[in-house]
Chains A and B, each alone.
Chain A
Amino acid sequence: MTQRALSTPPRLPPRSLRASVEGNGSSVDRAFGAVGAGAAGALGLVLVGVAASVARIAWPSIQATGLSFVTTSVWDPSRGTYGALAFVFGTLVTSFIALLLAVPVALGVAVFLTDLGPRRLQRPVSSLVELLAAIPSVVYGLWAALVLAPILRTTVQPALAAVGGPLFSGPNVGFGILCASLVLAIMLLPTIASVSRDVLRAVPADLREGALALGATPWDALRLVVFPHARRGIFGAVLLGFGRAIGETMAVAAVVGSRADISPSLFAPGYTMSSVIANEFPAASSELHVAALAEVGLLLFVVTVAFNVAARVLVARSREGSPRASQAGAGSGGAA
């Protein structure tokens, strides 16, 4: 029966009808395509525009300071000396400490949401974690400046100072690298947790089931099968978190202490690339000052774009799955 249906040649509509249908659609279709392409192109243009216009404002500073911009740390707009090393240092240190604090907790949350937590808790916990991401950055800044920093000053930092060492010494004012890192950690957590959750969920179910069927406990299955499979994606999630940490502005600006210093102490006030732009750009004193701030922005742009591209590539690859996974999928499909 199907044989006969297939062997009948497809009958085309009469030429006149075809022409009218195509003629009717195609000019509007072309317009539709053009409008869509225009909108999409505008989006691409915005990205190029961001890079180009930041670079254009930064040009006088690039010319004036050259390489010393990233190798010196004296930032004194009143004397026209611009060295951004302290901002780069502050950004990297706060982001790194924030990751150190956030990654274990975020992975714990992700694993709770996919494998280890009770199923009826998974949905509410998932929404609460997303709520954590929804709270605006300024509100975190307000909370950190008025609640977290005083707690650090009165209890946490004295306790850490008792431990001693160069990390935990120096002035104890609450505001500083440690406080900024803590807020950042709170803000990164939902990003890393939800991306890793998605990556873990994308691990083919047969792999987990196979491990469990062989007698693995849920933790064994995670450790021996799921994690190795999702490794690249989780690394991508961490990079995405790092990219976000580097660009985070308002909460950090509120508590970082705003001083362009490089100090080994975590208690010391510091500065980051994004928060110096936020604080000084509206009141920049001279054209060179504006240019220098834009050059900080340019550095920030390059670093975040690099991290984001790397992270996206990793996450996308792990979602596509390794060849082993697709083989497993094909095998189960054949059996069904």
Chain B
Amino acid sequence: MTPELESAYSGRKLAARAAKTASSVAVGLALLPLFAVLAYVASQGARALSVAFFTEPIGVRGAGMANAIVGTIELVFLASAMGIPLGIAAGLYLAEYASTPLARAVRFSADVLAGVPSILVGVVVYAVVVVWMKQFSAFAGAAALAIVMLPLVTRTTDELARAVPDSLREAALALGAPRWRTAIFVVLRTAAPGIRSGCLLAVARVSGETAPLLFTAYNSRFFNESLFDPTSTLQVQIFTYTMTPNDDWHAQAWAAALVLVALVVVLNVLARRVLAEREPA
């Protein structure tokens, strides 16, 4: 190697090393806020958590958030019951009739809908459901969350079902299975682990959604008596307490944040587990 070539190469090596260092620094910068947020939520939350937090309803001082915890779980269940079946049906349709104009248009609008700010979903559900029923309700909140879930579930199902090899479809059809049986018992079943994982991720996502609940499920200091009453949720309660200048309430908000983050992280880990089972080593 001639000296000038050698020196040119060492310059490039230096640049490569600098780039490597810079990308590591970027990773450090990205993970810093993650650890900062998690550390604060864990330490402040753990300090404020108590048995009363899980057993007492929202109140003035030292009380808990039992009704908000129940409210969050209730809304997520209801939203899943509405959003997941509809999303899977739509996604399966998109995959099985992939190239029809309707499928293309719907796929595109699912992508666009996934990008629409969730607060607008709240406005719409307010305009349609809340105004129509003349009151805030758990049902309205769940409908808003279901709309947020819908494009996520649809696109996951669509993509995974399209990834199922055509040879499986052809084998089923060749054995005389009609198209709907092929779709449900061959395509859907083959793609099931991935779809389960996608649904869990969608559930995790809406468990933390707050904006669409502000004026649909609204808030309440009591356990709701029916699904058509306003309902308190952990998310909305955290926001309400964040905006107050009261230290006791801030402590409650940290505790609620800890419960919420734990819920979301557990759902995410579960989703990954389900996905990992699909790919044996």
- Chains A and B are bound partners: yes
Which 4 A/B pairs are nearest by Cβ-Cβ distance? A108-B26, A136-B208, A25-B178, A36-B93
B31 CB-CB contact with A under 8 Å: yes
**How many residue pairs between the two chains, A and B, have CB atoms under 8 Å in the bound complex?**
283
Contact B180–A139 (Cβ < 8 Å): no
Complex interface residues of chain A between 12 and 65 (CB less than 8 A to chain B): 21, 24-26, 28-29, 31-33, 35-37, 39-44, 46-50, 53-54, 56-57
Contact A131–B102 (Cβ < 8 Å): no
A180 CB-CB contact with B under 8 Å: no
Interface string of A254-283 (1 = CB under 8 A from B): 100000000000000000001001100110
Chain B: CB-nearest residue to A220: B12
With A134-B204, A217-B16 as contacts: A246 and B117 at CB distance below 8 Å: yes
Q: How large is the interface on B (under 10, 10 to 19, 20 to 34, 35 or more residues)?
A: 35 or more
Binding site for B on A (CB under 8 A): 21, 24-26, 28-29, 31-33, 35-37, 39-44, 46-50, 53-54, 56-57, 104-109, 111-112, 116-117, 125, 127-132, 134-143, 145-147, 186, 189-190, 193, 217-220, 222, 240, 243-244, 246-250, 253-254, 274, 277-278, 281-282, 293-294, 297, 300-301, 304-305, 307-309, 311-312
Determine the distance from Cα of A336 to Cα of B12 in the docked complex, in whole angstroms: 33
Chain B contacts for A282, CB-based, 8 A: 214-215, 218
B197 CB-CB contact with A under 8 Å: no
B278 CB-CB contact with A under 8 Å: no
Contact A104–B178 (Cβ < 8 Å): no
Chain A contacts for B20, CB-based, 8 A: 116, 218-219
Determine the distance from Cα of A304 to Cα of B150 in the docked complex, in whole angstroms: 18
Chain A: CB-nearest residue to B26: A108
Contact B124–A49 (Cβ < 8 Å): yes
Contact A44–B24 (Cβ < 8 Å): no
B90 CB-CB contact with A under 8 Å: yes
Binding site for A on B (CB under 8 A): 12-13, 15-16, 18-20, 22-27, 29-31, 33-34, 36-38, 40-41, 86-87, 89-90, 92-94, 96-97, 102-103, 105-106, 108-124, 126-128, 147, 150-151, 154, 176-181, 183, 204-205, 207-211, 214-215, 218, 235, 238-239, 242-243, 250, 253-254, 257, 260-261, 264-265, 268, 272
Closest beta carbon of chain B to A174's beta carbon, Å: 13
Contact B30–A139 (Cβ < 8 Å): no
Most buried by A among B19, B150, B181, B261: B19
Chain A contacts for B123, CB-based, 8 A: 53-54, 57, 277, 281, 293-294, 297
Contact B214–A278 (Cβ < 8 Å): yes
